[in-house]
Amino acid sequence: MKKPIKPIPKFANEAAERAFWESPKNDSADYVDWSKAKLATFPKLQPTDDPDKLPSTPL
């Protein structure tokens, strides 16, 4: 039997959301049914070196 999926909490800002998902005590498998995930493609996505289009922090 599968365990129930927890509702994803509401976050005050992006920093709070990032801290939540980066925490080792929060596993995305508790919040998302990955068996229903689908492959996504982005055919028009282009690489860029333009600093205005890059994230301010490395991924």
| Residue 1 confidence (pLDDT) | 59
Whether 11 and 20 have beta carbons less than 8 Å apart is answered as yes
Residues near 9 by beta carbon (within 8 Å), at least 6 away in sequence: 20
Taking the chain (59 residues) in runs of 10, the rounded mean pLDDT of each run is: 87 96 94 94 84 66
